[in-house]
Amino acid sequence: MGQLQTKHLAVAVLLAGLLSACLTSESGVSTKITNLTPTRIPRNTTGIYRVEMIWESNQQALRHETIQPEVRVTGHTNAYPMKRTQLLSNRWETLVGPLRPDETNIFYLIKVNWKYNAIPVPRSSSQSAGPFRLRILD
């Protein structure tokens, strides 16, 4: 193999490695959960309360159709899936409850699960924020 062919092969291997690193790297990726729920809410007759958040990501490979946020409340056995609001694509909400009449504080966390494009197959990721406290005022 000639010297010129060896240099071309070395450049091709270097470029392939850089391309692979760029496609699978998450460096510089930022995600942020912003809880929009007030910390105190007057008690209502239904015992059901809204939890809202904004989730932001600059991840270019994010598969938007796979975003699945949820709220997990301490002492509750099920998670509450969040739904995207109609007006803003990065704002999500769910209803939590019904709460018992004697519950005056609930502690919850917000978790967002999603997938992003990677080689050879998409990968999963998640982010959590909390715990947050919601006081129910009588």
Q: CA-CA distance, 30 to 57, in Å (whole number)?
A: 6
Q: Is the pLDDT of residue 15 over 50?
A: no
Amino acid at 136: I
Instruction: Encode burial over 48-61: b for 16+ CB neighbours within 10 A, e otherwise.
Output: ebebbbebebeeee
pLDDT tens for 34-89 read: 999 999 999 999 999 999 999 999 999 999 999 999 999 999 999 999 999 998 98
The pTM assigned to this predicted structure is 0.78
For the chain, domains (ranges, CATH) are 30-137 (2.60.40.10)
pLDDT tens for 75-99 read: 999 999 999 999 898 999 999 999 9
